[in-house]
Amino acid sequence: ALKSLGVGIGDPVATLAFNDHRHLDAYLAVPCLGGAIHPVNTRWSDDEIVSVLARTRDRVMLLDARLADRVDSLLPRCPWIEHVIGLGWSPPGIEGITSHHHDELLAAAKPMLAWPELDETSAMALCSTSGTTGGPKTVAYTHRSTCLQTMALGLTDCMRLSGRDTLLAIVPMFHALGWCLPYAAAMLGTRLVLPHRDLSAARLLDLVSKHRVTTAAAVPTIWNAVLAALDAEPQRWDVSSVDRIVSGGAAPTASMIRGFRDRYGIEVIHSWGMTEINPVGTMSPAVTTREEAAMDPDQRIEHQSVAGRPLPGLTLEVEDEQGRPVPTDGRSTGRLLVSGWWVADGYLHEHPETDRFREDGRLETGDVASIDDRGRMTIRDREKDLVKSGGEWISSLELDRAIGDLPEVMAAAVVARPDEKWGERPVAFVTLAPGASLDLETVRIALASKFQTWQMPDDLHPVKTMPLTSTGKIDKKALRAKMNDMTDS
């Protein structure tokens, strides 16, 4: 069907869609045809989407019926689009664009008898991540890089995925190619459950019970909500089929890892990755070595809280401000670099952050990390989120996790507030558990064993809901803006 619309080798095909079977078909069909699947984040504004598509100039777009309101606001601003294919519906006509119903287009198409020979280093997908400067940045995933990433995801000590699993793929297919899990599932014969648009905790738990899900992957914000829903109504859902879940894209708290394990027998596999690396970098299951098998339950929670070892094929390094390697003692922190088989070699278009890709193939991740003597990496912070107080760095992420572990707290995020005397001071935002209350003094007492007084937040602001980014992570940029508004007023 796509071929009949003129899609061929090298052509990007945009999707504005949720996780469903038609989207999955396109994930497989477009690369096999030699094109590049280009899943666009449905949560972006029209301006952000136009800024990405204006560079990639996709001629064909697949559009979900639930995004019908985008037709009038978005499509007239994309004159390069010639065909829009409605997933399960017929989009209304727009001047200059031919509209198709996906199912009718498929029914009319002839089977392809021969597949094209493709260069393994050609693009099979385009993925964009929202930038902090200069708008979204786009990278190409090649057939080679995605194939290698997919093979690595199938390794036993990664997430133990197999043809006996039923995987609930919660991570949106527009977020870094759904972490390549749709491909890993296709390769292994894993049964896939695709949740479409509604990612509320109750809906996800309904799917888990109904389809006897054994494993699932999502960002910690989703897992916190799922755990809270389970705790509120422990009898409502049957989660006995679930063996392990993957939490990636942001740091999980130890209390979340412990809660799933101790109350529901579910292992949380911590994962770190980024769009620029196709995208999974570490997967850290609870036990991969004899030494880890001997850990006591508390040690194991600590072990699962670190991002872990890189997947085979990747190298992680940490360097100081002079570019020297820092000691691998698990304490010394510095700039995290990553290189290897599925690390992109640059953004597709000029971008202010292009120089993060070094000529020697190493990528400056923008993360601050440490590595221990067993090769396990811990993310300490985003470089831009560190708080510099009196010339000393304070990790906002470590405070987020420590405050997030308090029983009164559902989610916590610490940001820097400009300060005349110290340069910057940490300020905490929290959402509280139902019926809970918390004051700054209680937080400071609870943190006293782990943090020095000067490292603790100066203020505590309860908020009803945490602002989230388009990929479901806590949005510290929005919290900084909120704090500035509060300071101004």
Q: How far apart are CA 449 and CA 462, in angstroms?
A: 23
Catalytic residue among 129, 275, 365, 471: 129
Expressed in percent and rounded to 5, the helix, strand and coil fractions of the chain are 35, 25, 40
Cis peptide before 279 (omega within 30 of 0): yes
* 129 is an active site residue: yes
Closest CB 202 distance from ligand AMP, rounded Å: 26
- Which residue is associated with the tokens 């390794």? 155
**363 in contact with ligand AMP (CB under 6 A):** no
Q: Report the site for ligand AMP in 438-477 (rule: CB under 6 A).
A: 471
Closest CB 307 distance from ligand AMP, rounded Å: 5
Residues in binding contact with ligand AMP, number by CB under 6 A = 19
* Binds ligand AMP (CB under 6 A): choice among 78, 97, 169, 176: 176
**284 in contact with ligand AMP (CB under 6 A):** no
Instruction: Report how far Cα 438 is from the mean position of its chain's Cα atoms.
Output: 30
Q: How far apart are CA 336 and CA 310, in angstroms?
A: 12
Catalytic residue among 302, 388, 392, 454: 388
Q: Toward ligand AMP, which CB reaches closer, 366 or 467?
A: 366
Q: Which one, of 44, 61, 64, lies nearest residue 5 by Cα?
A: 61
| DSSP bridge pairs for 126 | 140
Q: Toward ligand AMP, which CB reaches closer, 85 or 250?
A: 250
Q: How far apart are CA 88 and CA 94, in angstroms?
A: 18
* Binds ligand AMP (CB under 6 A): choice among 170, 250, 386, 413: 250
Q: Which residues have C-beta within 8 Å of that of residue 198, sequence separation ≥ 6?
A: none
Query: Where is 263: in which H helix or E strand?
Result: helix 254-264
Pick the piece of the chain touching ligand AMP (CB under 6 A) from 95-103, 268-276, 289-297, 436-444: 268-276
DSSP per-residue string spanning 443-480: HHHHHTTTS-GGGS-SEEEE-SS--B-TTSSB-HHHHH
* 388 is an active site residue: yes
Catalytic residue among 142, 276, 378, 431: 276
Q: How far apart are CA 111 and CA 79, in angstroms?
A: 30
Closest CB 260 distance from ligand AMP, rounded Å: 16
**248 in contact with ligand AMP (CB under 6 A):** yes
* Binds ligand AMP (CB under 6 A): choice among 26, 239, 251, 369: 251
* Binds ligand AMP (CB under 6 A): choice among 12, 273, 310, 472: 273
- Which residue is associated with the tokens 């829009």? 84
Q: Give the residue numbers annotated as catalytic, written as ranges.
A: 129, 276, 388, 393
Binding site for ligand AMP (CB under 6 A): 129, 176, 248-251, 270-275, 307, 365-367, 379, 382, 471
